């Protein structure tokens, strides 16, 4: 066990820095062996912490894995007794209230496997500084409330690294001896160090332009390795749409003359919003019809927009400290979700986001790492880039939007951006701007930022036909989470509709927003002519678990009639969940699994109605995921859930074979591939139908094979492949094998396609899954140094292949523990993310729980990074 336990940092201990850094001038000299970083910092004491005449506080700079070669104060070299090197960094005594510190350090980016700080990916140099990576580049006040004007001079070999990029504008360049060259960059906007970026490589770029609404021309450039130059158009188009949208919806214009994106193969997450120089995981930016699925086209559009939107929500107005992370992330996810909803199907986007929230964020909220949207403590901040901070944080902003209305929300965001431009601020500043602009009191609402856990809302109703009064009785509670035993009531906006017997809305304007603020609360609706069916939490107006005792027939009624598209989908899911939950005990008792008739009838109505919205229909054909069914079960009966879901899917496949065949035929598209919302919707419906057809008959399997061979785009090809690989029918076996081989042979040089190839195999639940995953780890396509490959294979297996991961008397748990222990030495951030499935141990029956615990304990006997230490220790508590 590790003896030096990482320190816990508390929000309540926040203190402004003792010094500010007005200017940061970097000289980065890149080499294959040792690179050099010279940093000249213009320092100024924080006058709030110092009275003239008193001794100046020591300057404590953070630094990690740096070799200090020299330090100079106001041009004079410091002697060995004039500075201290500590475990955290470098400490010096300030000579005066303002001074200049120059340091020179050696670093070895080529040996930096953590992918944090300055590192190498496929021969190019790149950086990732958020949250605390800049301290691996030079000694610095590496905290977001220290905002500085940066300049950066990069020098490197001219042949290997013809392209040298940093933030802001290129202001000069020149040639040096020995085939080297340099480029000088300057960023006029003060920024925290986490937004610094540097790239050096043999890259090509595509270029475009955007004219802002005030008439300025901005150059847009996307840099990539030459082989990927044909995969840039979609990202550039997405960027232009995002720039226009932010002007129209938020009145925000881009501020520099150039906006650059660089695609990098080795990257710990999706992308990074460095000022003027976004760095992207290749899989989140590169796309072509032949190599990317519709899902990745949409993901790219969303992530490009997300990073772009950070230019205001994150960069111009940044976070005071990392506890405020959701200030930029929750707000920016809300912004990108609304952008995607405007570009595509609003209902489908909402359904996708809510599915993720309910499956994964609710699980996080119920697990050992549960934390508020604004956490109040952490050991390692990298562990807090979570679904809670991002997705629940976005839901919290969405609730503010709903409570205020679009116009007042816009006044609030204008006030926030204008008042805090160039500042590092807090969630409180954001909420206050919203309050001031709207006149709405959000005092109680702030609890959403402070209290962890998913609130439960239980609803019952009563109707008095004599007076025409219909009443909804609400009660709310929130389960205990680590460190928070009891919770106060939340301010919960609940959008309610009431349907008459014909399925029409009874309320004027169709929906009323109920604001729940008490633990128990009753709301009355007057002049209601008949007992209605309530449609609750329309559009998922709050991130809660709501229950109302619907009958199966009422759910089927809502599924067919609700005017709220989200709630039609939700009713279909709830009905499926009910049916599946009744099948779980049948499986455990060994009795035949029975599908209830109401569900069959509801599907019959759904499939026989004319298709008005193919995308929405597709979402209703997708059964609740096993991971979602697991989240709502306690204990999780893995095999029973799987068997029930399979039985239901097979039942629908058999019962509605002709309908699926029609859907399949009617959704065919002619002509060249287009990643438009309309075409994507038809493809997704067609491929959902194909999945059922292949379950239902050998002819369906053959259809999938034909589609695989004839496809003119990656969506159809990959969905056909996935259908074959996941199909339980004997006739699919050989076809799956040959198509997998064919797919590999055709795409082995394309990393993004190989990620799909790995993930489709990792998620295959047939017997022997662990052995297949282990064999793939030895395959030439796998690279344990690349996070995308780790996620596609190990991550997908452990989080999406429940049968494989939980089978073999804990063999899957041992496997994951082995991987995590090894990986922690190289890349702690990824190790600590991959371990997540083991942290859910308390959801499982005793025997499995014990096996999972043993593996967590085994991990804990090793000397761990702070990242993994925090997650494992909290899971074992």
Residues known to be catalytic:
307
Note the residue count of the chain.
877
Q: Would you say 537 and 494 are in contact if contact means Cβ atoms under 8 Å apart?
A: yes
Please state, in angstroms and rounded to a whole number, the distance separating the CA atoms of residues 226 and 757. Answer: 23
Query: Which one of Zn ion, ligand B3K, none interacts with residue 25, CB within 5 to 8 A by kind?
Result: none
What's the closest the beta carbon of residue 252 comes to ligand B3K, in angstroms?
A: 16
Please state, in angstroms and rounded to a whole number, the distance separating the CA atoms of residues 327 and 668. Answer: 44
Q: How many CB atoms lie within 10 A of CB 387?
A: 19
Task: Give the interface with ligand B3K as residue ranges (CB under 6 A).
Answer: 130-131, 269, 271-273, 306-307, 310, 329, 382, 385
Residue 631, strand partner residues: none
Residues in contact with Zn ion, shown as a per-residue x/- string from 92 to 121 under the rule CB under 5 A: ------------------------------
* CB proximity list for 410: less than 8 A, separation 6 or greater: 249, 250, 251
Q: Which residue has the tokens 């297949």?
A: 772
What's the closest the beta carbon of residue 344 comes to ligand B3K, in angstroms?
A: 20
Q: Would you say 842 and 366 are in contact if contact means Cβ atoms under 8 Å apart?
A: no
Query: Which one of ligand B3K, Zn ion, none interacts with residue 799, CB within 5 to 8 A by kind?
Result: none
Residue 840 exposed, middle or buried by CB count within 10 Å (0-12, 13-18, 19+)? buried
Please state, in angstroms and rounded to a whole number, the distance separating the CA atoms of residues 598 and 618. Answer: 20
Query: Which one of ligand B3K, Zn ion, none interacts with residue 238, CB within 5 to 8 A by kind?
Result: none
Biggest CA-to-CA distance, the chain:
94
Q: What HEC string does 382-393 produce?
A: HHHCCHHHHHHH
Query: Which one of Zn ion, ligand B3K, none interacts with residue 130, CB within 5 to 8 A by kind?
Result: ligand B3K
What's the closest the beta carbon of residue 115 comes to ligand B3K, in angstroms?
A: 10
Q: Would you say 387 and 366 are in contact if contact means Cβ atoms under 8 Å apart?
A: no
134 vs 557, beta carbon nearer ligand B3K: 134
What's the closest the beta carbon of residue 710 comes to ligand B3K, in angstroms?
A: 38
Query: Which one of Zn ion, ligand B3K, none interacts with residue 385, CB within 5 to 8 A by kind?
Result: ligand B3K
Joined tokens for residue 230: 């044909």
Joined tokens for residue 237: 């188009």
DSSP reduced 3-state for 670: coil
Query: Which one of Zn ion, ligand B3K, none interacts with residue 716, CB within 5 to 8 A by kind?
Result: none
Closest CA to 849 of 840, 860, 858: 840
321 vs 329, beta carbon nearer Zn ion: 329
310 vs 538, beta carbon nearer ligand B3K: 310
381 vs 653, beta carbon nearer ligand B3K: 381
First and final C-alpha spacing in the chain: 15
Q: How many CB atoms lie within 10 A of CB 643?
A: 19
What's the closest the beta carbon of residue 626 comes to ligand B3K, in angstroms?
A: 28
252 vs 310, beta carbon nearer ligand B3K: 310
Query: Which one of ligand B3K, Zn ion, none interacts with residue 776, CB within 5 to 8 A by kind?
Result: none
Q: How many CB atoms lie within 10 A of CB 138?
A: 28
What's the closest the beta carbon of residue 427 comes to Zn ion, in angstroms?
A: 15
Residue 76, strand partner residues: 73
What's the closest the beta carbon of residue 354 comes to ligand B3K, in angstroms?
A: 20
Q: Would you say 263 and 222 are in contact if contact means Cβ atoms under 8 Å apart?
A: yes
Please state, in angstroms and rounded to a whole number, the distance separating the CA atoms of residues 342 and 337. Answer: 9
**Residues numbered 324-383 forming contacts with Zn ion, rule: CB under 5 A:** 329, 332
117 vs 330, beta carbon nearer Zn ion: 330
Joined tokens for residue 248: 């129209």
332 vs 413, beta carbon nearer Zn ion: 332
Residues in contact with Zn ion by CB under 5 A are 329, 332
């Amino acid at each position: 066990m590790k003896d030096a336990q990482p320190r816990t940092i508390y929000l309540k201990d926040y203190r402004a820095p003792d010094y500010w850094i007005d200017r940061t001038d970097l000289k980065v000299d890149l080499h294959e062996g040792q690179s050099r970083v010279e940093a000249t910092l213009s320092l100024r004491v924080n006058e709030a912490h110092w009275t003239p005449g008193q001794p100046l506080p020591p300057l404590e700079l953070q630094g990690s894995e740096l070799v200090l070669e020299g330090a100079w104060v106001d041009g004079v070299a410091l002697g060995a007794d004039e500075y201290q090197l500590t475990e955290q960094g470098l400490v010096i005594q300030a000579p005066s209230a303002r001074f200049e510190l120059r340091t020179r350090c050696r670093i070895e980016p080529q040996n930096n496997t953590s992918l944090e700080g300055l590192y190498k990916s496929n021969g190019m140099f790149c950086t990732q500084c958020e949250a605390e990576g800049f301290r691996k580049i030079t000694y610095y006040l590496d905290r977001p409330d220290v905002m500085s004007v940066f300049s950066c001079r990069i020098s490197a070999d001219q042949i290997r690294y013809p392209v040298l990029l940093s933030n802001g504008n290129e202001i000069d360049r020149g040639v040096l001896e020995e085939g080297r060259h340099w480029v000088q960059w300057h960023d006029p906007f003060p920024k925290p160090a986490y937004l610094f970026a540097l790239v050096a490589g043999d890259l090509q770029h595509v270029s475009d332009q955007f004219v802002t609404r005030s008439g300025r021309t901005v150059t847009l450039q996307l840099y990539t390795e030459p082989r990927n130059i044909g995969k840039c158009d979609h990202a550039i188009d997405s960027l232009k749409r995002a720039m226009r949208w932010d002007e129209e919806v938020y009145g925000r214009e881009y501020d520099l003359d150039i906006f650059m994106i660089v695609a990098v193969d080795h990257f710990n997450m999706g992308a990074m919003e460095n000022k003027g120089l976004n760095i992207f995981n290749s899989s989140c930016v590169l796309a072509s019809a032949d190599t990317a699925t519709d899902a990745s086209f949409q993901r790219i559009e969303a992530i490009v927009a997300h990073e772009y939107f950070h230019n205001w929500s994150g960069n111009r107005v940044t976070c005071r400290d990392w506890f405020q992370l959701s200030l930029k992330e929750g707000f920016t996810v809300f912004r990108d979700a609304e952008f995607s909803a405007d570009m595509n199907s609003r209902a489908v986007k909402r359904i996708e986001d809510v599915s993720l929230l309910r499956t994964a964020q609710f699980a996080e909220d119920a697990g050992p790492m549960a934390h508020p949207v604004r956490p109040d403590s952490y050991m390692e901040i990298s562990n807090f880039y979570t679904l809670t901070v991002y997705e629940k944080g976005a839901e919290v902003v969405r609730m503010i939007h709903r409570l205020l209305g679009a116009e007042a929300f816009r006044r609030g965001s204008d006030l926030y951006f204008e008042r805090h431009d160039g500042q590092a601020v807090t969630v409180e500043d954001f909420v206050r701007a919203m309050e001031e602009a709207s006149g709405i009191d959000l005092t109680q609402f702030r609890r959403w930022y402070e209290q962890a856990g998913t609130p439960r809302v239980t609803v019952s109703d009563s109707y008095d036909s004599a007076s025409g009064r219909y009443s909804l009785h609400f009660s709310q509670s929130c389960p205990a989470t680590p460190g928070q035993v009891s919770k106060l009531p939340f301010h919960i906006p609940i959008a309610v509709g009431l349907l008459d017997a014909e399925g029409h809305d009874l309320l004027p304007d169709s929906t009323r927003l109920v604001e729940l603020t008490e633990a128990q609360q009753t709301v009355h609706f007057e002049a209601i002519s008949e007992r209605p069916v309530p449609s609750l939490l329309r559009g998922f107006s709050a991130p809660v678990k709501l229950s109302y005792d619907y009958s199966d027939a009422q759910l089927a009624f809502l599924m067919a009639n609700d005017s709220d598209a989200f709630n039609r989908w939700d009713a279909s899911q709830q009905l499926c969940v009910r049916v599946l939950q009744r099948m779980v005990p049948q499986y455990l008792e060994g009795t035949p699994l029975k599908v209830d008739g109401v569900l069959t009838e509801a599907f019959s109505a759904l499939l026989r109605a004319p298709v008005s919205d193919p995308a929405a229909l597709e979402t209703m054909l997708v059964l609740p995921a096993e991971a979602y069914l697991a989240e709502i079960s306690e204990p999780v009966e893995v095999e029973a859930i799987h068997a029930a879901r399979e039985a239901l899917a097979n039942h629908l496949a058999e019962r509605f074979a002709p309908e699926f065949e029609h859907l399949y035929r009617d959704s065919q598209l002619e002509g060249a591939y287009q990643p438009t919302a309309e075409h994507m919707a038809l493809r997704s419906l067609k491929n959902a139908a194909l999945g059922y057809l292949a379950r239902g008959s050998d002819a369906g399997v053959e259809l999938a094979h034909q589609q695989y061979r004839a496809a003119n785009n990656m969506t159809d090809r990959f969905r056909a492949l996935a259908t074959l690989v996941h199909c339980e029918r004997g006739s699919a076996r050989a076809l799956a094998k040959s198509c997998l081989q064919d797919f590999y042979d055709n795409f082995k040089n394309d990393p993004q396609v190989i990620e799909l190839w790995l993930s489709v195999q990792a998620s295959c639940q047939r017997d022997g899954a662990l052995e297949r995953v282990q064999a793939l780890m030895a395959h030439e396509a796998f690279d344990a140094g690349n996070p995308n490959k780790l996620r596609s294979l190990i991550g997908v297996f452990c989080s999406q292949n429940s049968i494989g991961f939980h089978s073999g008397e804990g063999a899957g748990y041992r496997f994951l523990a082995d991987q995590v222990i090894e990986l922690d030495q190289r890349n702690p951030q990824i190790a600590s993310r991959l371990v997540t499935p083991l942290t859910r141990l308390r959801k499982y029956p005793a025997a499995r729980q014990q096996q999972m615990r043993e593996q967590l304990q085994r991990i804990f006997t090793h000397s761990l990074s702070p990242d993994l230490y925090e997650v494992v220790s909290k899971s074992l508590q």
